[in-house]
Amino acid sequence: MIVPINIYSDEVLRRQAVSLEGVDADIEELLGNMFETMYNAPGIGLAAPQVGRSLRLLIVDISCIREYENVKPMVVINPGILDSRGYRAMEEGCLSLPGVQGDVVRPAAINLSWRDEHFEERTGEFSGMLARVLQHEIDHLDGRLFVDRLQRRDRRKVQKELDALAEGRFSASYPVVPTSLHIGQV
Ligand code: ZN
């Protein structure tokens, strides 16, 4: 089932997500919905908070990108970045911020520990596009969005678009959770 995506100003995107203790039927259903929602958008990564679930769970599939056709889709549960190397700037976007793009500097390679869809412990080293998408999605689990990492000048460039997102003045080609009409209320 395609589920609506939470947008920029939604507080669920700002929460510290909680770790999973296992994969049950509810999580399996969530994973199925997340893949369907990501492919529909289309996107190359999606974190559970983006569909309103504050859980440390994300999916990635970059096989639609040239030279990455053989990279298998990943289910990443309770990820931890053990180590990182180098730095690289790359343009990012986000399904929760339709129409917004900006250059983000992140480590070029990471060592990651996580649990897979069977809740088996895994570790691996990632670089290039996969390292990039994984770090972007892991940020979501910590309540962080890529615009938080923009240089001040670049952030100013997208501020108008961010304001528009917060006020619900945007269009997306996929279902979204309506932006609250009560911005500013506690
Ligand atoms: Zn995102």
pLDDT at 184 over 60: no
pLDDT over 70 (residue 122): yes
Residue 179: its pLDDT value, please?
81
Mean pLDDT in residue range 97-107: 97
Residue 5 bridge partners (DSSP):
176
pLDDT at 60: 98
Give the Å distance between the CA of 95 and the centre of ligand 1. Answer: 6
pLDDT (tens digit, 9 = 90+) per residue, 3-28?
Answer: 999 999 999 999 999 999 999 999 99
Closest CA to 95 of 30, 159, 10: 10
Distance CA 51, CA 77 (A): 15
Residue 181 — pLDDT band, cuts 50, 70, 90? Answer: low
Mean pLDDT (the chain, rounded): 95
Domain spans of the chain, in order of start: 11-171
Its pTM stands at: 0.95
Tell how far the Cα of 121 is from the centroid of ligand 1, in angstroms.
24
CA dihedral 74, 10, 106, 43 (to 10 degrees): 40
Which tens digit of pLDDT belongs to each residue from 130-176?
Answer: 999 999 999 999 999 999 999 999 999 999 999 999 999 999 999 99
Q: Residue 69 pLDDT > 90, yes or no?
A: yes
- Supply the residues annotated as catalytic: 137
Nearest in space to 126 (alpha carbons), one of 108, 140, 138, 114: 108
Cα 22 to averaged position of ligand 1 atoms, centre (Å): 24
Q: Is the peptide bond preceding residue 42 cis, with omega within 30 degrees of 0?
A: yes
CA distance to 80, 98, 120, 139, 148, per residue, from 157 (Å): 32, 15, 43, 22, 13
Strand runs labelled E in 14-170: 45-47, 57-60, 74-85, 88-92, 102-106, 109-115, 121-127
Question: What's the CA-to-centroid distance between 164 and ligand 1, angstroms?
Answer: 17
Q: What is the distance in A from the centroid of ligand 1 to the CA of 27?
A: 20
pLDDT-derived band at 180, boundaries 50, 70, 90: low
In the CATH scheme, what is the code of domain 11-171?
3.90.45.10
Tens of pLDDT, residues 21-61: 999 999 999 999 999 999 999 999 999 999 999 999 999 99
Expressed in angstroms and rounded, the spacing between residue 42 Cα and the centre of ligand 1 is 12
The CA distance from 87 to 77, in Å, is 25
Residue 4's φ and ψ, nearest 5 degrees, are -70, 150
Ligand 1 centroid, distance to 10 Cα (angstroms): 13
